[in-house]
Structure 1
Amino acid sequence: MQQHFIYFLYSKSIDRFYIGETSNLKNRLILHQKQHYKGSFTKSAKDWEIVFSKKCDSKQDALFLEKFIKRMKSKKFILKVIKNPEILDDILNNK
């Protein structure tokens, strides 16, 4: 089974986070920085860096967490997760 990650990118220039999932973190960051995704939010900056990543047991878990966090629409929540990643385990255990 292929490994999957949920990740948070941060751009200092626009002071914003981006949440995504991937099976290849290094390659995904390069694609975001090169603005490969034409209609993507990440096109708004060129200084994205990975500030958080978590390996998930499946693509479904990574997608579930990505959607959950995006629905929160909360920078405070993202910062909480960065400080306390176990929050994501709790979310998965209660789905």
Structure 2
Amino acid sequence: MNYVYILHSAKLSRFYTGFTANFDTRLDFHLNSEQERKFTYKADDWIVFLRIECESKSQALAIEKHIKNMKSKIYIENLLRYPEIINKLLEKYKDC
């Protein structure tokens, strides 16, 4: 299964959006890796804000790109507040 995920850090007041085929392994990397170069190293309070299950890798990558291109904290918050937005994204990028 492929996922688009959004992590949130209250400490940084920032969101991190990513894609993975193995959510548990990727989350463990963000929470426990010692690599200083990765963005999520800057805080230790990351929580899973949202996880979107996608049908394919190409669909997940397209949705991740769409969310990142929005460059909006409000848009990301609205994804959780209004689940119909996620449904529209899944439909829009279904045949990618």
- TM beyond 0.5: yes
Q: 2:62 — aligned with what?
A: 64
Structure 1 residues 71, 36: closer, same or farther in 2, change over 3 A? farther
| 1:10-29 matches, cutoff 5 A | 10-29=8-27
| Matched pairs, number | 93
Question: What root-mean-square deviation, in Å, do the aligned CA atoms of Structure 1 and Structure 2 show?
Answer: 1.6
Ranges in structure 1 where 5+ consecutive residues have no aligned partner: none
Cα shift readout 1:34-89 (whole Å, capped 9, x = no counterpart): 23555322121121111111110001111101110001100000000011232123
Q: What CA distance in whole angstroms lies between the structure 2 residues aligned with 1:89 and 1:80? A: 13
Say if 1:63 and 1:38 are closer, same or farther in 2 by CA, change over 3 A.
farther
| Counterpart code for 1:39 | R
Gaps of 5+ in 2: none
> Does the 8 A contact of 2:54 with 2:90 survive in 1?
no
Summarize the alignment of residues 1-95 of structure 1 with structure 2, pairs less than 5 Å apart: 3-35=1-33, 38-95=36-93
Partner of 1:19: helix, strand, or coil?
A: strand
Alpha-carbon distance in 2 for matches of 1:87, 1:37: 34
Distance 1:42 1:94, change over 3 A: same
Distance 1:63 1:79 in 2: 20
